[in-house]
Structure 1
Amino acid sequence: MASRTEYEPGTPVEAVFPSFAEAFPFESFNRMQSAALPAIADRDDNVVVSAPTASGKTALAEAAICRTLDAGGTALFLAPLRALTNEKESEWERFESLGYSVYVVTGERDLDPRRAERADILVMTPEKADSATRKHDSPRYAFITDIDCCVIDEVHLLDSDRRGAVLEVTVSRLRRLCDPRVVALSATMQNVDDVAAWLDAPPESTFEFGDDYRPVPLSATVETYAHGDNAFADKYRRLYRALDLAEPHINEGGQALVFVASRQDTVRAAEKARDELAERDIDIGARGDYDFHTDAAELENDTLRKSVVDGVGFHHAGLSKADKDRVEEWFKQGKIQLLFSTSTLAWGVNLPARCVVIRDTKLHDPLEGEVDISPLDILQMLGRAGRPGYDDAGYAHIVCDGSDADKYRQLLRDGKPIESRLAETLDSHLNAEIALGVVDDIDDVLSWLETTFYYARAQSAPGKYEAGDSLRDRVSATLERLVDGGFVDQSGLNIEPTGLGRLTSQFYLQLNTAESFDALCQRAASNESPPIDESTVLRAVADAAAFDSVSARRDEREAFEAVLGHEGDDLDDGNRKVLAILRAGMDGTTPGELQSDAWVIRRNARRLLAALRAFCERFADPRDANLVRRIEARIEHGVSDDTVGLVAIEGVGTGRAQTLAEAGIDSPAAVRAAGVDGLRKAGLSESVAERIHEQARDLPALDFDWKDIPDRIRHGENTMGEVTIKNAGGGEPAGIRVTVNGVEMTQQTSYLGEATVPVGVFGGDAETLTYEVEVAFPNLPLRPVVDSRTVDVA
Structure 2
Amino acid sequence: MAIDEVLPEFADAFPFESFNRMQSEALPALLERDDNVVVSAPTASGKTAIAEVAICRALEADGTALFLAPLRALTNEKESEWERFEDLGYSVYVVTGERDLNPRRAERADILVMTPEKADSATRKHDSPRYGFVTDVDCCIIDEVHLLDSDRRGSVLEVTISRLRRLCDPRIVALSATMPNVDDVAEWLDAPAETTFAFGEEYRPVPLEAGVKTYSHGENAFADKYRRLYRALDLVEPHLREDGQGLVFVSSRQDTVQAAKKTRDELAERDVPMGARGDYDFHQEAEQLQNETLRKSVLDGVGFHHAGLSKDDKTLVERWFREGTLGLLFSTSTLAWGVNLPARCVVIRDTKLHDPLEGEVDMSPLDVLQMLGRAGRPGYDDQGYAWVVCDRSDADKYRQLLRDGKEIESRLATDLDAHLNAEIVLGTVRDIDDVLDWIETTFYAVRARSAPDRYDSDGQLRDRVSDTLEQLVDRGFVERDGLSLSPTRLGRLASKFYLRLDTAREFADLARRADGGDGTATELTTDDVLRAVATAAEFDSASARKDERDAVRAVLGDRERDLDPGPRKVLAILDSSMDSATPAELRSDAWVIRQNALRLLAALRAFLDHLGTAAAANLAARVEARIEHGVSEDAVGLTALDGVGSGRASRLATKGLQSPADVREAGVSGLVEAGLSEGVAKQVVGSAQSLPDLRFDWGEFPESVASGGNEMCEVTVTNQGDGARAGVRVTVNGHEMTTTDGYLGTTTLPVGVFGGDADTLTYTTEVHFPDLPLAPVSASRTVRIE
Q: Same fold (TM over 0.5)?
A: yes
Q: Which residue of 1 aligns with 2:433?
A: 443
Q: Quick one: which of 299, 304, 309 aligns to 2:299?
A: 309
Indicate if the aligned counterparts of 2:515 and 2:521 stay in contact, CA closer than 8 A: no
Q: Quick one: which of 244, 248, 260 aligns to 1:270?
A: 260
**What amino acid is aligned across from residue 681 of structure 1 in structure 2?**
E
**What amino acid is aligned across from residue 587 of structure 1 in structure 2?**
D
Matches within 5 A, 1:446-525: 446-525=436-515
Indicate if the aligned counterparts of 1:106 and 1:128 stay in contact, CA closer than 8 A: yes
Q: Quick one: which of 53, 61, 78 aligns to 1:71?
A: 61
Indicate if the aligned counterparts of 2:726 and 2:741 stay in contact, CA closer than 8 A: yes
Q: Quick one: which of 538, 546, 555 aligns to 2:538?
A: 546
Superposed displacement of residue 460, structure 1: 1.3
Distance 1:100 1:475 in 2: 44
Q: Which residue of 2 aligns with 1:4?
A: none
Matches within 5 A, 1:410-425: 410-425=400-415
Distance 2:666 2:245 in 1: 61
Q: Which residue of 2 aligns with 1:27?
A: 17
Structure 1 stretch 619-628 or stretch 710-719: which is displaced more?
A: 710-719
Q: Quick one: which of 268, 280, 283 aligns to 1:290?
A: 280
Matches within 5 A, 1:702-741: 702-741=694-733
**What amino acid is aligned across from residue 294 of structure 2 in structure 1?**
L
Q: Which residue of 2 aligns with 1:97?
A: 87
Distance 1:107 1:319 in 2: 20
Distance 1:698 1:111 in 2: 24
Q: Quick one: which of 278, 299, 316 aligns to 2:289?
A: 299
Q: Which residue of 2 aligns with 1:664?
A: 656
Residue 207 of structure 1 aligns to a residue whose secondary structure is strand
Superposed displacement of residue 228, structure 1: 2.3
Q: Which residue of 2 aligns with 1:618?
A: 610
**What amino acid is aligned across from residue 402 of structure 1 in structure 2?**
R
Residue 702 of structure 2 aligns to a residue whose secondary structure is coil
Superposed displacement of residue 529, structure 1: 7.3
Q: Quick one: which of 338, 347, 361 aligns to 2:337?
A: 347
- Residue 163 of structure 1 pairs with residue 153 of structure 2: yes
- Residue 673 of structure 1 pairs with residue 665 of structure 2: yes
Q: Quick one: which of 671, 680, 687 aligns to 2:679?
A: 687
Indicate if the aligned counterparts of 1:65 and 1:149 stay in contact, CA closer than 8 A: yes
Q: Quick one: which of 202, 205, 208 aligns to 2:198?
A: 208
Distance 1:401 1:133 in 2: 44
Q: How many residues align?
A: 784
Superposed displacement of residue 367, structure 1: 0.5
Distance 1:699 1:120 in 2: 40
Superposed displacement of residue 531, structure 1: 4.0
Residue 671 of structure 1 aligns to a residue whose secondary structure is helix
Q: Quick one: which of 177, 182, 187 aligns to 2:172?
A: 182
Distance 2:342 2:128 in 1: 43
Q: Quick one: which of 734, 750, 757 aligns to 1:742?
A: 734
Superposed displacement of residue 788, structure 1: 1.4
Q: Which residue of 1 aligns with 2:624?
A: 632
- Residue 356 of structure 1 pairs with residue 346 of structure 2: yes
**What amino acid is aligned across from residue 673 of structure 2 in structure 1?**
K
Superposed displacement of residue 82, structure 1: 0.2
Distance 1:539 1:622 in 2: 19
Indicate if the aligned counterparts of 1:357 and 1:398 stay in contact, CA closer than 8 A: yes
Structure 1 stretch 359-368 or stretch 225-234: which is displaced more?
A: 225-234
Q: Quick one: which of 115, 118, 134 aligns to 2:108?
A: 118
Taking structure 1 as reference, are residues 566 and 285 closer, same or farther at Cα in structure 2, changes over 3 Å only? Answer: closer
Distance 1:705 1:268 in 2: 65
Residue 27 of structure 1 aligns to a residue whose secondary structure is coil
Superposed displacement of residue 763, structure 1: 2.0
Q: Which residue of 2 aligns with 1:590?
A: 582
- Residue 645 of structure 1 pairs with residue 637 of structure 2: yes
Superposed displacement of residue 390, structure 1: 0.7
> CA offsets, 1:147-206, max 9 Å, x none?
111000000000000000000000000110111111000010011110000000111111
Superposed displacement of residue 767, structure 1: 2.0
- Residue 45 of structure 1 pairs with residue 35 of structure 2: yes
Distance 2:744 2:9 in 1: 56
Indicate if the aligned counterparts of 1:530 and 1:536 stay in contact, CA closer than 8 A: no
Indicate if the aligned counterparts of 2:275 and 2:298 stay in contact, CA closer than 8 A: no
**What amino acid is aligned across from residue 622 of structure 1 in structure 2?**
A
**What amino acid is aligned across from residue 416 of structure 2 in structure 1?**
L
Indicate if the aligned counterparts of 1:130 and 1:170 stay in contact, CA closer than 8 A: yes
Structure 1 stretch 67-76 or stretch 526-535: which is displaced more?
A: 526-535
Residue 749 of structure 1 aligns to a residue whose secondary structure is strand
Q: Which residue of 2 aligns with 1:408?
A: 398
Distance 1:639 1:528 in 2: 33
Distance 1:193 1:370 in 2: 34
Q: Which residue of 1 aligns with 2:591?
A: 599
> CA offsets, 1:75-98, max 9 Å, x none?
110000000000001001111111
Distance 1:528 1:91 in 2: 60
Indicate if the aligned counterparts of 1:718 and 1:763 stay in contact, CA closer than 8 A: yes
Distance 2:624 2:740 in 1: 24
Indicate if the aligned counterparts of 1:724 and 1:754 stay in contact, CA closer than 8 A: yes
Q: Which residue of 2 aligns with 1:8?
A: none
Distance 2:720 2:612 in 1: 28
> CA offsets, 1:187-227, max 9 Å, x none?
10011110000000111111110011111111111000011
Superposed displacement of residue 525, structure 1: 1.9
**What amino acid is aligned across from residue 291 of structure 1 in structure 2?**
D
Distance 2:488 2:150 in 1: 30
Q: Which residue of 2 aligns with 1:570?
A: 562
Q: Quick one: which of 676, 700, 711 aligns to 2:692?
A: 700
**What amino acid is aligned across from residue 24 of structure 1 in structure 2?**
F
TM-score norm. by structure 2 comes to 0.99
Distance 1:716 1:264 in 2: 74
- Residue 60 of structure 1 pairs with residue 50 of structure 2: yes
Distance 1:553 1:378 in 2: 25
* Gap regions ≥5 residues in structure 1: 1-10
> CA offsets, 1:432-490, max 9 Å, x none?
11111111111100100011000111121112111221111111111111111111111
Residue 8 of structure 2 aligns to a residue whose secondary structure is coil
Distance 1:225 1:144 in 2: 50
Divergent runs of 4+, >4 A: none
Indicate if the aligned counterparts of 1:708 and 1:720 stay in contact, CA closer than 8 A: no
Q: Which residue of 2 aligns with 1:7?
A: none
Distance 2:520 2:347 in 1: 59
Distance 1:134 1:471 in 2: 25
Q: Which residue of 2 aligns with 1:6?
A: none
Distance 1:60 1:728 in 2: 60
> CA offsets, 1:304-349, max 9 Å, x none?
1111111111000001111111111111111111100000000010
Q: Quick one: which of 251, 256, 259 aligns to 1:261?
A: 251
Structure 1 stretch 482-491 or stretch 756-765: which is displaced more?
A: 756-765
Q: Quick one: which of 384, 387, 396 aligns to 2:377?
A: 387
Superposed displacement of residue 777, structure 1: 0.6
Q: Quick one: which of 730, 752, 761 aligns to 1:769?
A: 761
Distance 1:768 1:217 in 2: 90
**What amino acid is aligned across from residue 379 of structure 2 in structure 1?**
G
Q: Quick one: which of 571, 576, 591 aligns to 1:579?
A: 571
Indicate if the aligned counterparts of 2:634 and 2:653 stay in contact, CA closer than 8 A: no
Structure 1 stretch 157-166 or stretch 600-609: which is displaced more?
A: 600-609
Taking structure 1 as reference, are residues 530 and 233 closer, same or farther at Cα in structure 2, changes over 3 Å only? Answer: farther
Structure 1 stretch 782-791 or stretch 401-410: which is displaced more?
A: 782-791
CA RMSD of aligned residues (A): 1.1
Distance 2:379 2:392 in 1: 35
Indicate if the aligned counterparts of 2:713 and 2:750 stay in contact, CA closer than 8 A: yes
